Chain A
Amino acid sequence: DQQVKQNSPSLSVQEGRISILNCDYTNSMFDYFLWYKKYPAEGPTFLISISSIKDKNEDGRFTVFLNKSAKHLSLHIVPSQPGDSAVYFCAAGRPGNNNDMRFGAGTRLTVKP
């Protein structure tokens, strides 16, 4: 049972445009959400997070939006750069409990120059 779903396996955008990566979750107990970025031959690295008490968190070009009623979060990258080309994993869990962390299958983002 996949509790965290990233329904788009891949996304291609033009440099300078906005990239929007989506993530849906089913477990209403999740209240902390993270995005990780993974380059080929490397491990995932933390990108940005959001707790359920917020609906938006921004860090430079990256913004995560959370819609709790829809159990949906999205990652916006503006403007997109070729160096952003990577696989992005959405993760959901509860603070203080890594054991319940669930990851989505990932979305491969390609930013074309």
Chain B
Amino acid sequence: EAQVTQNPRYLITVTGKKLTVTCSQNMNHEYMSWYRQDPGLGLRQIYYSMNVEVTDKGDVPEGYKVSRKEKRNFPLILESPSPNQTSLYFCASSQDTRLAKNIQYFGAGTRLSVL
């Protein structure tokens, strides 16, 4: 089954404690990205990756890091989480973005609370 898998689904942590949210896709997609969803603001892009070892900042990258060592995996790293990073996070992947249809496939989400 084609899917994007995020782990964990729920996470409560404390300020300053490093954490990693994993994301894996089994569709051989080149493009992967991370979004956060906050009330009234929709989905905002944090980081994206066009291919292995190619990553770049989205609209709200502050406080986050990513890596793309393998095509299927795109972990999101919070080195020193702060309460304003409490949010719902989605990982997404899509085929070659040069194609006309930019349909993204999303993971089920990770709800993060930073106390």
Taking Cβ atoms with an 8 Å cutoff, the residues of A that contact B are 2, 4, 6, 9, 32, 34, 36, 41-46, 49, 51, 89, 91, 93, 95-99, 101-106
Tell whether, in the assembled complex, residue B106 and residue A101 are in contact, meaning their CB atoms are under 8 Å apart.
no
Q: Is the interface of A mostly helix, strand, loop or mixed?
A: strand
A49's partner among B58, B101, B106 (CB-CB below 8 A) is: B101
Q: For the complex, count residues of B whose C-beta is within 8 A of A.
A: 30
Tell whether, in the assembled complex, residue A105 and residue B40 are in contact, meaning their CB atoms are under 8 Å apart.
yes
Q: Which residues of B contact A42 (CB under 8 A)?
A: 108-109
Tell whether, in the assembled complex, residue A98 and residue B98 are in contact, meaning their CB atoms are under 8 Å apart.
no
Q: A41-B109, A97-B97, A98-B48 are in contact. Are A32 and B102 (CB under 8 A)?
A: yes
Cα A81 to Cα B102 in complex, Å, equals 27
Q: A96-B99, A97-B102, A98-B48 are in contact. Are A43 and B41 (CB under 8 A)?
A: no
Flag whether B107 is at the interface (Cβ < 8 A).
yes
Closest beta carbon of chain A to B28's beta carbon, Å: 16
Flag whether B45 is at the interface (Cβ < 8 A).
yes
Q: Which residues of A contact B56 (CB under 8 A)?
A: 99
Flag whether B51 is at the interface (Cβ < 8 A).
no
Q: A97-B97, A98-B97 are in contact. Are A45 and B106 (CB under 8 A)?
A: yes
Q: Which residues of A contact B108 (CB under 8 A)?
A: 41-43
Given contacts A95-B100, A98-B97, 11 further A-B contacts (CB under 8 A): A41-B109, A43-B92, A44-B106, A89-B43, A95-B99, A95-B102, A96-B98, A96-B100, A98-B104, A101-B45, A105-B40
